[in-house]
Amino acid sequence: MSNLSLNLLIDAGLITSSGKVVDIRKLPASEVSNRLSQYNSARIQTAESEISDHGSTEKLSALFSTGSTSQSNASILSSSLVYDSIVIDDPLVTSSNKISFDRLVQGLKLFEWGYELIRANFLKVLPISFFNKPSNDIPLLLSDDAFKSCIPSKIHDFIHQNATLKSVVRSDKGEMLILSEDAYENRRAALNVEFSNDYWKSGVSLYLFETLENCEEDESGNLVCQKVWNSKGKLGKEQFNTWAYQTINQAMRCRLNNIYNETFLAERLGHTYITESSFESQFMAMSGDTTCSTGSISAKFLKANNSFINIDSPSTILELRNKHSEAFERFNFSLQSISDELSGIDPELFDRKAENLFHKEILPQVDEIRDNVNSISSSGVKGALGSLVGLSAAIATGSTLPLITTLMSTVSSGLTEAFPAISQQQRFKKRPAYIWHRVTKT
């Protein structure tokens, strides 16, 4: 899987057969566009069959959220010590009719850097965000309850308590500038939505207060209206409060829809959904049908910030996993076994049990992996606790199933899903429902 992406890039003339990026700066812009279009078209056409033909294993593997997980080299390398395989979003595939030159170059460099990891099937690249956002059309959405019904009731209050709204103004150059002021102060007609303790690198966050005016029926019977936004306008208090409440719900509706699609994709591939957002991890855990308290469902389990190692390159990962495959597989299965052991445990005992298992089962294996890295000649660090890496993870033990079920009837109701639903009986077996992790600099 995803060797196909490399083959398609080679066929399109964007990388060489050895994985080196072609110097596209020497090519005419039209030729670069043609090559990229060839790759985009082929990748989109082959992605669904590639997913359907993929055979999952019982090993713990990861699908990185497109919105709440970093695709940095450091994150991929450190995660390659934990997960059997990692699925990331294809940076070159887009539903837009254009892509920046810098994004194209950075995307190609990612393929060059991870070439051997992809060939070894440790790293898999799929156009996840394309399927989440299949078009550039902006829908006209209507709701009688300000989109409240799109949010699972168990997380409604938590989401609004953690929402932060900032005013946005347009500069003389047409730029949208986020101000430090609380949006409720001046109640401007544009605002930015964020959430506390969140990591969210993509998705809708800017909202404009627009009205429909001069509506007329055309020859086909369609209602044609003009959208009007007063960039310097200010709203009354009651009007703004209603709009702000609706905007928070809309921002979460969009996000939950992405989570819905990506967790289904993760399940089809036999992978676990990965998020680096503490906020996201918490509301997913809160939605579970469980007797555990919200603070206990996700233990800060793999907190190895002072115990992990510096992995300097993909070649180190390849050599480590080839020479010490048994140690890696034992570590991988230990995480799943511990997840099973923590499932359904009394909330008062959860944190203590998780900590004991971490020190008993995980830390010795972390030390073993570090020793194995020291024995690899290609590693230049020789045991140093250096520039990479701590990996913090919270393992959810299957508590999110009711959230996904709820999303099927709320967020995704009436929508055309990119990834079809699968039987609930097959969900979340032998692996966590999702994992929260964070790579930190030490």
Residues 303, 339 within the same domain: yes
Q: With the CA atoms of 174, 178, 183 and 189 taken in that order, what torsion angle do they form, in degrees rounded to the nearest 10?
A: 10
Q: d(Cα 308, Cα 330) in Å, to the nearest integer?
A: 17
Q: Which two tokens stand for residue 214?
A: 């001069």
Same domain, residue pair 109 and 163:
no
Q: How confident is the model at residue 218 (pLDDT cuts 50, 70, 90)?
A: confident
Residue 294 has pLDDT above 50, yes or no: no
Whether residue 221 sits in one domain with residue 193: yes
User: CB burial class (10 A; 0-12, 13-18, 19+) of residue 74?
Assistant: middle
Whether residues 112 and 179 share a domain: the answer is no
- Is 8 contained in some domain? yes
Q: How many secondary structure helices (H) and strands (E) does the chain include? A: 15, 13
Q: Which of 221, 254, 287 is the last residue of a domain?
A: 254
Print the domain residue range for 168: 148-254
335-363 in b/e burial notation, b at 16+ Cβ within 10 A? bbebbeebbebeeeebeebbeebbeebbe
**Residue 160: pLDDT band by 50, 70, 90 thresholds?**
very high
In a domain, residue 57? The reply is no
For residue 82, is it within any domain? no
The count of domains in the chain is 3
Residue-level pLDDT at 292: 39
Q: What is the pTM of this model?
A: 0.83
Structural domain includes residue 24: yes
If asked whether residues 163 and 206 sit together in one domain, one would say yes
- CA 404 to CA 295: how far, in whole Å? 20
Q: Clarify whether residues 104 and 162 are in a common domain.
A: no
> Are residue 296 and residue 221 in the same domain, yes or no?
no
Domain contains 102: yes
Q: Is residue 61 part of a domain?
A: no
Say yes or no: 325 and 382 in one domain: yes
Low-confidence winner among 232-246, 319-333, 361-375 (lowest mean pLDDT): 361-375
Helix (H, G, I), strand (E, B) or coil at 359: helix
Interval 68-83: pLDDT, tens: 988 888 888 888 888 8
Classified as helix, coil or strand, 418 is: coil
The token pair that represents 187 in the structure block: 């109640």
Domain for residue 342, yes or no? yes
Task: Note whether 270 and 250 are same-domain residues.
Answer: no
Whether residue 290 sits in one domain with residue 361: yes
SS3 343: coil
Edge-to-edge strand list for the sheet holding 272-275: 123-126, 86-89, 62-64, 272-275, 434-440, 390-395, 299-300
Q: Answer yes or no: do 332 and 204 share one domain.
A: no
Which residues neighbour 9 within 8 Å (Cβ) at sequence distance 6 or greater?
A: 15, 39, 108, 111
**Is the distance from CB of 254 to CB of 408 less than 8 angstroms?**
no
230, 311: one domain: no
